A and B are shown apart, each in its own frame.
Chain A
Amino acid sequence: MRNPYSGLTDLELVRAFSEGNERCFEVLHNRHKSRIFTTILLIVKDSDLAEDLYQETLMKVLHYIREGKYNEEGKFLPWVIRIARNLAIDYFRKDKRNPMVHASEDYDVFSYAGHTTDSPEKQIISRENQRYIRALIQKLPDKQREVLIMRHFADLSFKEISDLTDVSINTALGRMRYALVNLKKMMEPQQNNALGEVQIQDEYA
């Protein structure tokens, strides 16, 4: 049975939830959970940590809504991504963990992302391609990776990204361009040097 609240906007759902309608938050959660979690996962690169931060982010979101601290002028998803990003930054500051630590290579949270009608062989190839691409993403400079994650996976606009990261839109666009160019270079074997490394282009070079 279709949820009667699924046609409401994010703002309407937040308002209804603040009046005590928990089904509205369920709709909101289902609508954005994948983007939120994917963003967190790509930032922290650790699936267990991503799960913890995901829960913490949403609980903080609920707390702020209860306290009436959701600013209507901002969109819901960029607001949540901002909270998630800040929590990730705080975590790395407190824990002083090396963000380049990877989770077990056998475990790939993307492996259960959605269903497809493709054949099993195609699914395996697709999954392997995705794993390969994500490994390349981790090699990008932090600022380029951040913009790429937020634009491509969290689907934030460049304006929202520039507000969130406190840079100009042109800077955000430039970082995105370099991110895509660098990924292209990494994908092409002939771009590798004698050591098999790719010369990553920095926007500040």
Chain B
Amino acid sequence: MKQVYNEEDVVRYVYEEMDEEEYPVFFEALCRDADLWNTYEQLQIVKLGLGTTLAEPSSKSCQTVLQYASQIASEMENKPSTYMSKGTSDKTPIRWLPIGIVLAVMLMSAWVVDQLEIFSPLPQVASAIAPDDHAWMYDRLYRMEDDRVLPQMTGTNAYRLVRYSGDSYSDTDSPIFE
């Protein structure tokens, strides 16, 4: 199917804005269509008549602009670039590193403390309780932060809950569990 060209396409041709493959096809169309060819001739004549001469700004204007550019360049040389780039920044988030290290150390310490049970006298006592029997009570009381309630054996298979405060035990009003 032959491409149909119009006068706007002639403008594109005159100003060399066609794709490489399109030029020979369009030229063929020009040769076949007298009206299109007349339009091309007219537009080409005017384009040549317009010429390519350009005006120049005065040396004073140029000097003013370049002086300002020099000043801007000095400012930009002395500070980090704020140039917008589509690529990722190559600046490492160094300022976040110390905070990250501290957090990591804290988490590690907490894990170590938990694993070593340094502050917890509970395991050897807790093992005396059958977890299925009173696990809910033990869990609730055990998780008190400062004053810890622990089971204290009162007999072979009996215990009551006492409050552990670092180096001493105090009574609670718990019953004896058997």
Partner of B56, one of A26, A37, A173: A37
Partner of B86, one of A22, A68, A72, A151: A72
* Residues of B with C-beta under 8 A to A17: 69, 73, 76
- B2-29 to A contact mask, C-beta < 8 Å, 1/0: 0000011011100101000000000000
Known contacts A38-B55, A54-B61, A22 near B50 by CB under 8 Å: no
- Of chain B, the residue at the smallest CB distance from A171 is B8
- Of chain A, the residue at the smallest CB distance from B45 is A184
Partner of B17, one of A22, A33, A158: A158
Q: How large is the interface on A (under 10, 10 to 19, 20 to 34, 35 or more residues)?
A: 35 or more
B64 within 8 A of A: yes
Known contacts A15-B83, A54-B57, A59-B68, A174 near B76 by CB under 8 Å: no
A138 within 8 A of B: no
Q: DSSP majority for the B interface?
A: helix
B82 within 8 A of A: yes
A6 within 8 A of B: no
Known contacts A18-B83, A26-B66, A62-B69, A173 near B76 by CB under 8 Å: no
CA distance A160 to B17 in the complex (A): 12
Expressed in whole angstroms, the minimum distance between the Cβ of B4 and any Cβ of chain A is 15
- B43-77 to A contact mask, C-beta < 8 Å, 1/0: 10111011101111110111011101110111111
CA distance A37 to B76 in the complex (A): 26
* Residues of B with C-beta under 8 A to A36: 57
B81 within 8 A of A: yes
* In the complex, number of A-B residue pairs with CB atoms less than 8 Å apart: 150
A113 engages B56 (CB within 8 Å): yes
B82 engages A68 (CB within 8 Å): yes
Expressed in whole angstroms, the minimum distance between the Cβ of B7 and any Cβ of chain A is 6
User: How many interface residues does B have (CB within 8 Å)?
Assistant: 43
B115 within 8 A of A: no
A153 within 8 A of B: yes
Known contacts A59-B68, A170-B8, A173-B12, A187 near B82 by CB under 8 Å: no
A201 within 8 A of B: no
B101 within 8 A of A: no
Known contacts A20-B77, A109-B56, A183 near B8 by CB under 8 Å: no
B84 within 8 A of A: yes
CA distance A153 to B76 in the complex (A): 33
- B73-93 to A contact mask, C-beta < 8 Å, 1/0: 111111001111110000000
CA distance A198 to B9 in the complex (A): 26
Known contacts A18-B83, A51-B58, A177-B8, A129 near B72 by CB under 8 Å: no
- Shortest beta-carbon contacts, A-B, top 9: A20-B77, A22-B73, A68-B82, A34-B54, A18-B83, A173-B8, A37-B57, A58-B65, A25-B69
A-B pairs with beta carbons under 8 Å apart, 9 shown: A17-B69, A18-B76, A22-B69, A37-B57, A41-B55, A68-B84, A133-B49, A176-B11, A184-B42
Which chain B residues have a beta carbon within 8 Å of chain A's beta carbons? 7-8, 10-12, 15, 17, 42-43, 45-47, 49-51, 53-58, 60-62, 64-66, 68-70, 72-78, 81-86
